[in-house]
Structure 1
Amino acid sequence: LMLPGIDGLEVCRRLRSASNIPILILTARDTVPDRVTGLDAGADDYLVKPFAFDELLARLRALFRRHHM
């Protein structure tokens, strides 16, 4: 995950260690090892770009259901 100044996976790890906020990774990194690494870093879901907007909405609804938001 490419972010300016900090690795996106590190952001994910820090968020996960500090809270139970839902985390959905949206990225162009599409290999199985990339997905596994993202999920192991604390993401609840991982969606590869390009993606269908309807799929993104469905995944967000599922995250909100699981986290009772």
Structure 2
Amino acid sequence: MPAALILDLMLPGLDGLELCRAVRAFSDVPILICSARVEELDRLLGLELGADDYVCKPFSPRELVARVKALLRRAQGRLAPVSWVPAA
């Protein structure tokens, strides 16, 4: 299983939003959509269908790296074992 998925919505022969929904149906892998679709409706739909973040093109490589690092940090927190001792 990949640590994260960077998904471009403009895929030849594929609907990127449908792919996002399909991946989310069976996996909790962090999904970052990067797309030239910049309208608010597109961003909201991507997030609603399961993306954890959405970045609009053009973006800098540094911004992309920072966003992926943030996704991985949050995913580690979700997946890390929790040690909990009930109060006596």
Question: What is the TM-score when the length of structure 2 is the normalising length?
Answer: 0.74
Runs of 4+ in 1 over 3 A off after TM superposition: none
Bigger fraction of residues in helix? 1
Bigger fraction of residues in strand? 2
Looking at structure 1, the residues matched to 44 and 11 of structure 2 have their Cα atoms a distance apart, in angstroms, of 19
Q: 2:28 aligns with which of 5, 14, 20?
A: 20
Aligned residue pair count: 69
Unaligned runs of 5+ in 1: none
Q: 2:58 aligns with which of 26, 35, 50?
A: 50
State the structure with bigger RCO (CA 8 A, min sep 6), 1 or 2: 1
Looking at structure 2, the residues matched to 29 and 5 of structure 1 have their Cα atoms a distance apart, in angstroms, of 17
Unaligned runs of 5+ in 2: 1-8, 80-88
Question: What is the TM-score when the length of structure 1 is the normalising length?
Answer: 0.93
Q: RMSD between aligned alpha carbons? A: 1.2
User: By how many angstroms is 1:3 displaced?
Assistant: 1.3
Q: Deviations over 1:34-61 (max 9, x none)?
A: 1001101100000001001111111011
Q: 2:14 aligns with which of 3, 6, 14?
A: 6
User: By how many angstroms is 1:5 displaced?
Assistant: 2.1
Mark the structure with the bigger radius of gyration: 2
